[in-house]
Amino acid sequence: MNMKSSRWTHSLKSRIVVSYSLILIIGGLSTSMLGIHFTGQALLEQARQQTVYGLSAARSIYVHRLQELRQSVELLASSGQLQAALAANQPMAAVKYLTGIRQEHGLDFLSVTDPTGRVIVRTSGDGTTGDVVTALAPIEQALGGESAAGTEIIPCGFLQAEDPALTRQAAIRFAPTAKARPIDTKILDAGMTLLAAAPATDESGHIIAVVYAGQLLNHPSTNPHEPGPHWIVDKINHTLTGHLQSAHKEHGAAATIFQSDVRITTNITTAEGERAVGTRASQEVYDAVMLEGKPWIGRAFGVNDWYITAYEPITNLAGERVGMLCVGLLEQPYTAVRDKVTLIFAGIALFCFLLIVVVTYFLTRSMVRPLEEMVSVSQSIAADDLSRRVHVTGQSEFGLLSSSFNDMLDRISQMKTQLEQWAKTLEQKVEERTQQLVKVQTQVARQQRLASGGQLAAGVAHEINNPLGGILTFSSLVLEELPEDSHMHEDMQEIVRQAIRCRKIVTELLEFSRQREAQMTSASINEVVSRTLALLEKQALFYDINLTRKFDPDMPMTVVDESQMQQVFMNIILNAVDAMSERGDLTIETGHKTAKKQVWVRISDTGCGIPPEIREAIFDPFFTTKDPGKGTGLGLAVACRIVQDHGGRTEVESELGKGTTFTISLPVTAT
């Protein structure tokens, strides 16, 4: 073999190995990145769910303390000892009795008013009485005859009357906090208090007094070991930590109570080890929780570390938002697991890549060797040596091509012998043999083109099936390891089913020229649409989509290819989400027309709409208004063709700036 043949075959081998390696790199990286992304999202979603459960537990602890406070004042109001002291006009006896109760239950103040709301007994501070406290909602309700408890913002003037120490305790100074809303105030002038009140009545049911008690939540102390109002967040933290350590360690659970957006009690500590009292919530959290009254769940920076947090508003007895209750989990344990999974994915991908490159190299050598021999024989023919033959056997394309090549050589030899024997008819014989040679060469070229086309089709199927096989394998492994009661088990089953469906689509692509008949079965259009939405609505692009379902419960069954119809609905829904820039309202309705024996599906969005001049062209193949690389223009064309193959029709209505509605009508047919 000369140098020219060697360069040609080596170049072919290099191109095959390099091309296939690039495909593997792209496919492997895509698969690994998708796996890493979805694994990370699943871990963070687990943390968000734990945070939501923690917020529910915190709410229960908070509400339980309010109920305890209410029950305590109700028992005191019905106490015979207190009523006897009041009836005998012996306030000091009442003070002595109530002071012991206040200290036993850890209350900041416990007082009694007359039926007009004027304080007649006070167990805290210097015991001053005579002031009117009817401005506080629970006391006002108790004066009306009903006990009440709630979270109230109490001015410092009221706290001063109860106990001057409470005024100093409520006055928490703000600490500089990044991303907090700008305000002019630097210190709190009121305290957030758990307040309960209950009426005391005589035998005839007349109100003779009102007993009220409170516990101030504000605490300026930053000592994480100091007792006081911090006990409530410490109890919440202990409850969360005990629940989470069954699955992971060192989760770093955190609990905080805010007065407006100011931390008044928390177990989050600063770098110096002090409680982060006086720091404030971010503007984003304040707007969502305090202004809009919505729960807020998300990633937030808490003093020194990133937390996955959940907030909800705290309201007073009148329903006004006065503060926030927050729980959070350290993000670092979950991101550490995610990073470990990333390294494992990368290691597996690198190992598989190297293994496949080695195998590809040796397979390529075995494939190219017959070509090298054929090139060498061809060069011998060019040197007028017709004695050599190609020694490749078998029923493969190379074997058949070699057989044809050898036949051609035999015929050329025969032609040469005949030319030598028939010198007198040289021109005629040359012409005839030349025509035969042209025909043979044409057949060989055609066979080569057919072989190349077959290789290309097989290569495309192989290249697509490789990543699909990887997805199916890994998702099946994950499914086997998941317990059946896991909330991810059903989602993973859906991933496996859809991967199998994609593999079926690739197979059908190769058989497209044979026009395989659709797999028609009797199905419910409502179920087909629901399965399609189950695949889409958990994706990130649906997070800001308001999805409305209006399904006709009396939809008749009809005969369709469920896989093809699922493709139709998926293409139209994805186009609708894209038209709304992943933010807007998506409405899906189903219905039927009994008289016309039809079922219909209507998909409406609030996107940008379709200009009238291109409305007739949207179903044309390869027509698209998307940027290059973001669409092929085949989605609606394929959907329209599938609907037509089912005997139905696709209609579109659109108005610029308001949205678009696609209506798919299908005939009701029986099996």
Structure confidence by residue, pLDDT tens digits, 46-100: 778 888 888 888 899 899 989 999 999 999 998 888 888 888 888 888 888 898 8
What is the CATH architecture assignment of 47-335? 2-Layer Sandwich (3.30)
Of residues 409, 395, 399, 419, the one with CA closest to residue 440: 409
- One-letter amino acid at 583 equals R
DSSP states along 420-447: HHTGGGHHHHHHHHHHHHHHHHHHHHHH
Which residues, 6 or more positions from 196, have their beta carbon under 8 angstroms from its beta carbon?
A: 66, 69, 70, 72, 73, 138, 147, 148, 149, 150, 212, 213, 214
SS3 230: coil
Structure tokens at 191: 């305290």
Can you give the C-alpha Rg of the chain in angstroms? 40
Please, how many CA atoms are within 13 Å of residue 520, restricted to the half-sphere of its CB?
16
SS3 246: coil
- Mean pLDDT score of the chain, rounded to an integer? 80
SS3 222: coil
CB-based contact 315:304 (threshold 8 Å)? no
Q: pLDDT band at 450, cuts 50/70/90?
A: very low
Q: How far apart are CA 108 and CA 166, in angstroms?
A: 8
Neighbours of 401 (CB within 10 A): 19
The kind and range of the H/E element at 534 are helix 525-536
Pairing between β-strand 584-593 and β-strand 545-550 as defined by DSSP bridges: parallel
Pairing between β-strand 207-216 and β-strand 190-201 as defined by DSSP bridges: antiparallel
* Start-end of H helices in 310-394: 332-382
Q: pLDDT band at 605, cuts 50/70/90?
A: very high
Q: Please state the separation of Cα 394 from the chain's center in Å.
A: 53
CATH topology of domain 517-667: Heat Shock Protein 90 (3.30.565)
The predicted-structure confidence for 136-195, as pLDDT tens digits, reads as follows 999 999 999 999 999 999 999 899 999 999 999 899 999 888 888 898 888 999 999 999
The predicted-structure confidence for 496-551, as pLDDT tens digits, reads as follows 888 876 775 565 444 433 444 668 889 999 999 999 888 888 777 888 889 999 99
Structure tokens at 447: 């066979």
CATH class of the domain at 402-516: mainly alpha
The pLDDT value recorded for residue 197 is 96
Of residues 603, 567, 602, 596, the one with CA closest to residue 669: 596
The predicted-structure confidence for 219-235, as pLDDT tens digits, reads as follows 876 655 555 557 778 78
Neighbours of 402 (CB within 10 A): 21
Cα 652 to Cα 2, 401, 604, 616: the distances in Å are: 66, 54, 10, 9
* Start-end of H helices in 202-259: 231-244
The pLDDT value recorded for residue 462 is 57
Percent of the chain with pLDDT over 70: 79
How do the domains of the chain map onto residue ranges?
47-335, 402-516, 517-667
CB-based contact 633:624 (threshold 8 Å)? yes
Q: How far apart are CA 650 and CA 643, in angstroms?
A: 7
CB-based contact 178:215 (threshold 8 Å)? no
Structure tokens at 65: 């303390």
Q: N- to C-terminal Cα distance for the chain?
A: 66
